[in-house]
Amino acid sequence: MQIGRALRWTAARHPERTAFAGRRRMTYREWDERTNLIANAMAGLGVRTGDRVAMFTANTEVMASTHLALQKLGAMSTPLNTRLSAPELTYCLDDAEPKVVITDDHARHVATEALAAAQVRPVLLHAGTDPVTGAEDFEAAVARSDATAPGVTVAESDPSVMLYTSGTTGKPKGVPRTQHNEYAASSAHVMQCQYGSGESTLGAMPMYHTMGLRSLLSMVLVGGKVVEMPAYDAARAVELIEAEQVSALYLVPTAFWALAQTGRLEDVARSVRKLAFAGAPMTSTLCEQLMAQVRPEVFVNHYGSSEIYTFAIEDHAPRKPGSAGRAGMLSRLLVVDPATQDGHKQLPPGEVGEIVASLDSDEAFAGYWRRPDADQKSIRNGWYHTGDLGHLDDDGDLWVDGRVDDMIITGGENVHPVEVEDVLSRHPEVGEVSVVGLQDDKWGQAVTAFVVPAQEGADPRALAERITTWAREEAPLSPYKRPKNVLVVASIPKSPVGKILRRKLVAGDYRLRTGSGEDAGARTPS
C-alpha cells in the first residue's frame, strides 16, 4: 500500500467525515481534492518521482496537505525544522537538493538568508501574506492546478519522506524512508495505540519529526480527524481538545507535563480515552498523575526513532512506569555489548548494554542519505545501533537507561541519569529535573541535578538545600548516585519535540534562578 492510495481509499469510504480541523476545515473528499491540486501544481513545477520538495513551514494544514500530495507523486517530502539557524538550513538544502522549497511567514527570514547562501536554486513558493522576493504565492500556484488524481504510478519502493535528525553530534543526517516504510510504521502505530475507526487526535507534534507524521498518517488510515496546532501551548491544547472532542493524544512527556500544569486534566478526560508518549522517558510521578486524572483506557509508551519507527512498546505504561516494554509488533531488539561489530549476543537480564534493532523490520530505513560514514557507525551486520543504553529485567521488559554519551562515571561508578531523574521527580517541590555529569577534580564527574521548581516563589537556594538533604537522607538512591550538586534553573533546554538536551547543560547553557542575592545551588559535602 502507498500513502496516497490510502488517502484516496479513505476518502471513498468516508467522503463526508471531517478529516482536518483548523483554519481550513475539510472532509475527506475535500482533503483528497486539495492534495490532488497540490500534487498537480508540484508536477507542473517539474517535480517527478524521487525528487525532493523541502518544507520550511509551521505545523499547519499547508504542511500536512503538501506532505500527502507528494505521496501521490512518489516524491520525497522533506520537512525541515523551523528552529534551524540559517547556516544549518543552508546545509540541509544543499544536502537534499530539493526541486521546490515551500516557506511561510513564520520561517521566511531564515529561509531567505539560507537560500541566498545555498548552492542549490530551487523553485520557491511562499504560503503566507508577507511577500518574499523571488517567491511565487503557494495558493496561487495551487489554484491554477486541477483536482483530478495525478496520473502517476507510485510503487511501495518509491520515496515517501526524508527526515533530518537533530544533529546533536555533528551535521544533521537525512533519513530517507519509502512508501512501504511509512505505511508499515503508521499501520503499526494504529494497532499499537489501539486506534479505532473515526478516532481524533491533536496534531501538536511537528511534522518534521516522526511523531508528527505518525499522528497525521494514522488518522488517514482509520478515517480519523487531525486537529491543527501550529505551535504547542498547553492551555490552547485543552481548548482544542474540548472543542473538537479529541479522543487520542500522542505527545512527548514534557507536553503532557505542561498539560498537567494547567490544572485541567479533568477537562481533558471528558473526551480523551487513549494516551501515548514517545521521545523521552516519562517519570513515574507524571505517569501516575495522568492515570489518576485522565483515566485512559489505553496508555502506551512508544520507544523508537526516525530510522526505525518502533523499537519497543509498553502497552500499559502504569504497569511498570519507566519500562519501554517489549519489541514492537514489526520489530526485534537486543541489548548487546556496545563494542560488538559482528556477533550480536543478547546480554543477561540486568546487564546494561547498547540497544540494537533489526533492520529486517518493515519500518526500517535502508541507510542515511549520502552518509556512508554514518552508515558504518550505526549499521552493523543487519542491526541498527541506537546509541541508547538499556537493560532487560527478569520479566524480559526493556528499560532505557540513557544515551551512551550521557553515562556519568563518578568515582569509577556508572550512573544512569534517567534513574536519578525518576527518583528526584518524586520530590513535591520538583517540577522538572535533568541530571548530568559535570567535570569534578575529585570524582571525575559529579552527579548534578538541574531542577525547575514546581511552584513559583520559593527561595531557590533554600529549595536546592532541601532537595539535597532529601536526596541524601530519604531518597532511595545509592550514595554514589546522589547528586553532588543541585542547581535551580529557570528552564531545562529541550529540542523542539521535548527531548532534554543534556549537552547544553554540560556546556553551561542554562540560567540559574537566584534568591536573596545568592546563586540557586547547593552542594553535598565531599
pLDDT tens digits, one per residue of 328-339: 999 999 999 987
In the chain, pLDDT over 90 holds for what percent of residues? 75
Q: What is the pLDDT at residue 44?
A: 97
Return the closest-CA partner of residue 254 out of 492, 502, 510, 513.
492
Same fold for the pair 1-179 and 232-404: yes
Q: How far apart are CA 427 and CA 470, in angstroms?
A: 8
Which residues lie closer than 8 Å to 222 by C-beta, 6 or more apart?
190, 195, 196, 197, 198, 199
CA angle 121–127–130, rounded 5-degree value: 95
- 1-179 CATH pick, 3.90.980.10, 3.30.200.20, 3.40.50.12780, 2.60.40.10: 3.40.50.12780
Whether the pLDDT of residue 169 is over 80: the answer is no
Whether the pLDDT of residue 18 is over 70: the answer is yes
Residue 513 in contact with residue 460, Cβ under 8 Å? Answer: yes
Residue 110 in contact with residue 117, Cβ under 8 Å? Answer: no
Pairwise pLDDT comparison (523 vs 22), residue with the higher score = 22
Whether the pLDDT of residue 192 is over 50: the answer is yes
Q: How far apart are CA 298 and CA 95, in angstroms?
A: 41
* Residue 299, SS3 per DSSP: strand
Whether the pLDDT of residue 519 is over 70: the answer is no
pLDDT band at residue 402 using 50, 70 and 90 as cut-offs? confident
Counting Cβ atoms within 10 Å, is residue 271 exposed (0-12), middle (13-18) or buried (19+)?
middle
pLDDT band at residue 524 using 50, 70 and 90 as cut-offs? low
* Residue 418, SS3 per DSSP: helix
Tell me the pLDDT of the chain averaged across its residues: 92
Q: What is the pLDDT at residue 401?
A: 83
Q: What is the pLDDT at residue 121?
A: 97
DSSP percent split of the chain into helix, strand, coil, nearest 5? 35, 25, 40
CA atoms lying within 13 Å on the CB side of residue 348: 0
Counting Cβ atoms within 10 Å, is residue 218 exposed (0-12), middle (13-18) or buried (19+)?
buried
Per-residue model confidence as pLDDT tens digits over 362-401 = 999 999 999 999 999 999 999 999 999 999 999 999 999 8
Domain boundaries, given as residue ranges, for the chain = 1-179, 232-404, 407-523
Whether the pLDDT of residue 141 is over 50: the answer is yes
Q: What is the pLDDT at residue 516?
A: 36
Return the closest-CA partner of residue 93 out of 66, 73, 64, 123.
123
Residue 126 in contact with residue 103, Cβ under 8 Å? Answer: yes
Quickly count: other Cβ atoms within 10 Å of residue 443's Cβ: 19
Per-residue model confidence as pLDDT tens digits over 224-251 = 999 999 999 999 999 999 999 999 999 9
Rounded mean pLDDT, 295-306: 97
In the chain, pLDDT over 70 holds for what percent of residues? 96
Q: Which three three-digit cell numbers place residue 59?
A: 505545523
Q: Which overall architecture, per CATH, does domain 232-404 show?
A: 3-Layer(aba) Sandwich (3.40)
Pairwise pLDDT comparison (374 vs 496), residue with the higher score = 374
Q: What is the pLDDT at residue 525?
A: 52
Poorest-pLDDT segment among 2-11, 81-90, 376-385, 495-504: 495-504
Residue 67 in contact with residue 213, Cβ under 8 Å? Answer: yes
pLDDT band at residue 170 using 50, 70 and 90 as cut-offs? low
Rounded mean pLDDT, 167-177: 78
Asked if CATH classification 3.30.300.30 holds for the domain at 407-523, the reply, yes or no, is yes
Q: What is the pLDDT at residue 520?
A: 58
* Residue 106, SS3 per DSSP: coil
Residue 335 in contact with residue 357, Cβ under 8 Å? Answer: no
Rounded mean pLDDT, 193-222: 97
Poorest-pLDDT segment among 45-59, 129-143, 260-274, 332-346: 332-346
Strands (E), 47-155: 52-56, 76-79, 100-104, 123-127, 136-137
Per-residue model confidence as pLDDT tens digits over 447-491 = 999 999 988 888 899 999 999 999 988 888 888 899 999 999 989
Q: Which three three-digit cell numbers place residue 497?
A: 519535540
pLDDT band at residue 517 using 50, 70 and 90 as cut-offs? very low
CA atoms lying within 13 Å on the CB side of residue 203: 27
Per-residue model confidence as pLDDT tens digits over 21-74 = 999 999 999 999 999 999 999 999 999 999 999 999 999 999 999 999 999 999
Q: What is the pLDDT at residue 285?
A: 87
Virtual torsion, Cα 62, 64, 65, 68, nearest 10 deg: 150
Q: What is the pLDDT at residue 168?
A: 45
